Structure formats: C-alpha cells, structure tokens
Amino acid sequence: MSATPHEEAHAGPIKNPKQLLIAVFLSFVIPVLVIIGLVTIVSSENKPGPGAANPEMAKAQRLQKVGHIEIRDANRPLRGGEGVYNGQCAACHATGAAGAPKFQDVAAWGPRLAQGLETLVHSALAGKGAMAPQGGGDFNDTEIARGVVYMANAAGAKFEEPNPPAAEGAAAEAAAAEAAAPANTAQQGAAAAK
C-alpha cells in the first residue's frame, strides 16, 4: 500500500515503451530541423539568379534607377546614311549575322523594299526578329532613317534621304512662300494698274 503512491509521485510522463520511442525520435529530429532552419536563415544573403555570371553586375542592374537623363547637343549636325551604317548597322548587315540582309544583296533586300520606306524605318526603330530596336540609341530617328535609305539604295532602291523634321517644316514653308510670291506679284500688279 505504501509502495504504490510513492512510485506514482516519482513517475514521468512516459508510461510505456511506445511513448519512449516517440520521445527519443523527436528529441533528435526537432533539433536537426531547428539547426537546418537556422542555417537557411543565416545563409540566405543576396544570391544571384540562376545563370547570372557576374553577381555584382546583376545586382547593379536590379538596383539601377528607372529612368535617366542624357544631355545631347541638339544642334549637332545629323550624320548621313553611310556614317550611320558604319556606326550602327554594319555590325550585322555587313556579314548577314542573325539573318540580317547583307549590304548590297539585291535578292535579300527585294521583298523588304517592296514593303516601302516607312515600313523599313519602322522595323529599324521598333526592332524586328533578331534586330533590337535602334530608336533612342546613339542616333536619332532621322539618322536611323538615313541609314535605312543608304542600305536600301545600295540594294537598288531609289529612296530620298530624309531631312530632320524642322528642316522639312522650313522647306515646306519656303515652298509655300515661293508659290505665294507669284500670286502676290500678280495681285500687286493688278492693283497698280487700277
């Protein structure tokens, strides 16, 4: 009678061998999981994405500002078609890299020329196939159009080299002034005769 109450007072929560096995198993598994979790947290620094060869450059690209301002001389003379071709287009069009039609290859340029100058310039500015968009680079849109005209004319087209938009407006105003000048002279002569 006195042995039973005394033994129960000193007994633990484990009453049978099954509970003992579960307690031993959990006493090893839980610390291992805690250690793995801590190692993961400690080693979870900024890692480059898969395939990033230069982690510093990849990080710099992710952290770069959304926009930037570039100051250029607005009054610089526009480059001609040959200069644009040599500076931008020759890298692919001289060799035919990535399916680009070669310079002076009439057969390759024929179907493209049939689409018209506006379509060719749009393709050059917006990009097409493997060719990246050329607008906003080292050359402005008029210079890119001049490069397209230079390549197209070398393949047999007869396109005129485009002028800058301000020059086109000035040329149109000059033409309108010339057309209006004879009419004004005739009106002044009629008024003087009266």
Structure tokens at 151: 């390549």
Please, are residues 161 and 82 in contact by the beta-carbon 8 Å criterion? no
- The phi, psi pair for 131, rounded to 5°, reads -80, 125
pLDDT at 181: 52
pLDDT at 186: 47
d(CA 84, CA 93): 12
pLDDT at 30: 94
Kindly report, residue by residue over 98-136, the tens digit of the pLDDT.
788 888 888 888 888 888 888 888 888 888 877 877 755
pLDDT at 177: 52
pTM of the model: 0.49
Q: Which residues contact 170 (CB under 8 A, 6 or more apart)?
A: none
pLDDT at 47: 65
Low-confidence ranges of the chain (pLDDT < 70): 1-10, 46-52, 70, 72, 135-137, 166-194
pLDDT at 103: 81
